[in-house]
Amino acid sequence: MTDVRPLVIVSDEALLDEVLRLAAAVGCAVERAPDLASAGAAWARAPLVLIDEEVVEGEVGLPPRAKVFLVTKGEPSKSTWASAFAAGVEEVLSLPDAEPVLVGALADVAEGPGVPGGCVVGVIGGRGGAGASVFASALGMAAGQDGALLVDCDQLGGGLDLVLAADAAEGARWPALCFDGGRVPIEALRSALPEHRHRLGRFPFVSCDRKGDGPTSQAVASVVDAGRRAGMAVVCDLPRHLNAAGRAAVQRADLIALVVPAEVRACAAARRVVEGLGVDKVRLVVRGPAPDGLMPQDAAEHIGIPLLTSMAPERYLDRHLERGEFVPRPRSPLITAARIVLAAARQWARPHEVAA
């Protein structure tokens, strides 16, 4: 036994099985004791203690400590609530309704404290073919070694793995990833996903496939929250016509980068995209060339959102993408603009939150 295992004192076999099942789901080993007297020093050293009604209503009083959770099957009685309050229990969790809370508490122990510095960036095109998927991929590369998690939310985009020339990489795509919105340990997620290696580092990614359904909103929530908890820059490639999965990503984003070519018609289309997003965290990224000299600030004024950065055209980009050779230089316009966006997202990121 180690000092980082939660202590479980549950005598009801069905309830115990349920607790152990949830602990196993998040990779959390536990220490068990048949009763309070047998717990010994584990009562004080455990990071979390889970007890049942028999313990809280027993003749032996609970020694004072933090992080004691009472777990019940169904809604507890009034007398149980009273006993829990008198004993100093921190939380009363009735299963199955409180499963997400219990899973979150167990995962916190298994994973350790959340890593600060995580942020979520949504990337969306102002018009079709604006280059949003390419810019999302550049953000993943600009995050550096092990710094990013790339999430494809555009079922009709053809697959981000093709942009990365990683369509042969082993790992699950969205049709094979089924999450219900609950807690997903980052290590379990890493082991399931393909990884893209590039000259600036590497990052895991989840791509839509050429067949099957795209992600559900619950699956996007689980993946994005896992990446943020791990301190990663989570980059979500969004569809222009938002579905439920896209909305889940937008809701979690600290910043949304709207990629717009320096064209009058693209600006008109982008204005409609901004209206559809309905949020005030959208910032403009203007992509050259400008066929008639449209300035980035003029584009921002026409669309009605602040300009974050602009970038010159990337030489031979289309050819490299078509050949599966998308490896932008560290000082290329794409990577330079991506670093500016990442810096802004990290600056604006809300304080680290642990999702249940």
The residue out of 68, 92, 111 marking a domain boundary is: 111
**Residue-range definition of the domain harbouring residue 24:** 7-111
Is residue 102 domain-resident? yes
Q: Is 172 exposed, middle or buried (0-12, 13-18, 19+ CB in 10 A)?
A: middle
Helix (DSSP H) and strand (DSSP E) numbers for the chain: 15, 13
CATH of the domain at 304: 3.40.50.300
Same domain for 161 and 59?
A: no
Same domain for 93 and 135?
A: no
Same domain for 186 and 58?
A: no
Is residue 77 domain-resident? yes
Residues paired with residue 196 on neighbouring β-strands, in sequence order? 203
- Work out whether strand 282-287 and strand 49-51 pair parallel, antiparallel, or are unpaired: unpaired
Same domain for 102 and 153?
A: no
Handedness of CA 198, 165, 252, 337 (dihedral sign): positive
Cα distances from 328 to residues 66, 136, 208, in angstroms, run 51, 13, 23
Same domain for 222 and 341?
A: yes
Looking at residue 159, its pLDDT comes to 93
pLDDT tens, the chain, 356 aa long: 345 799 999 999 999 999 999 999 888 999 999 999 999 999 999 999 999 999 998 877 899 999 999 999 999 999 999 999 999 999 999 999 999 899 889 988 887 767 778 999 999 999 999 999 999 999 999 998 768 999 999 999 999 999 999 999 999 999 888 887 778 888 889 999 999 988 778 899 999 999 888 999 999 999 999 999 899 999 999 999 999 999 999 999 999 999 999 999 999 999 999 999 989 999 999 999 999 999 999 999 999 999 999 999 988 888 988 888 888 888 999 999 999 999 999 998 865 444 43
Is residue 339 domain-resident? yes
Is residue 344 domain-resident? yes
Looking at residue 299, its pLDDT comes to 97
Looking at residue 318, its pLDDT comes to 87
Number of domains in the chain: 2
Is residue 180 domain-resident? yes
The CA angle 208-211-212, to the nearest 5 degrees, is: 80
Count other Cβ atoms within 10 Å, centred on residue 232.
Answer: 25
Same domain for 75 and 103?
A: yes
CATH of the domain at 42: 3.40.50.2300
DSSP secondary structure code for residue 166 in this structure: -
Handedness of CA 187, 245, 195, 261 (dihedral sign): negative
Count other Cβ atoms within 10 Å, centred on residue 110.
Answer: 19
Same domain for 78 and 223?
A: no
Given a contact cutoff of 8 angstroms between Cβ atoms, the answer to whether 289 and 310 are in contact is no
Same domain for 26 and 103?
A: yes
Structure tokens at 224: 């994005």
Looking at residue 3, its pLDDT comes to 55
Secondary element (H or E) of residue 54: helix 53-56
Looking at residue 350, its pLDDT comes to 61
Distance of CA 206 to the CA centre of its chain: 12
The residue out of 83, 111, 139 marking a domain boundary is: 111
Same domain for 206 and 251?
A: yes
DSSP 253-316: -SEEEEEEES-HHHHHHHHHHHHHH--S-EEEEEES--TT---HHHHHHHHTS-EEEEEPPPTT
Same domain for 173 and 288?
A: yes
Same domain for 252 and 287?
A: yes
Cis, bond preceding 34 (omega within 30 deg of 0): no
Looking at residue 1, its pLDDT comes to 38
The residue out of 111, 129, 163 marking a domain boundary is: 111
Cis, bond preceding 96 (omega within 30 deg of 0): yes
Same domain for 82 and 129?
A: no
Given a contact cutoff of 8 angstroms between Cβ atoms, the answer to whether 89 and 68 are in contact is yes
Written as one letter, the residue type at 331 is R
Is residue 356 domain-resident? no
Q: Could you give the CA distance from residue 216 to residue 303 in angstroms, rounded to a whole number?
A: 30
Q: Could you give the CA distance from residue 110 to residue 103 in angstroms, rounded to a whole number?
A: 10
Is residue 268 domain-resident? yes
Looking at residue 351, its pLDDT comes to 54
Is residue 166 domain-resident? yes
Secondary element (H or E) of residue 219: helix 217-229
Question: What is the chain's percent helix, strand, coil content, to nearest 5?
Answer: 40, 20, 45
Looking at residue 272, its pLDDT comes to 96
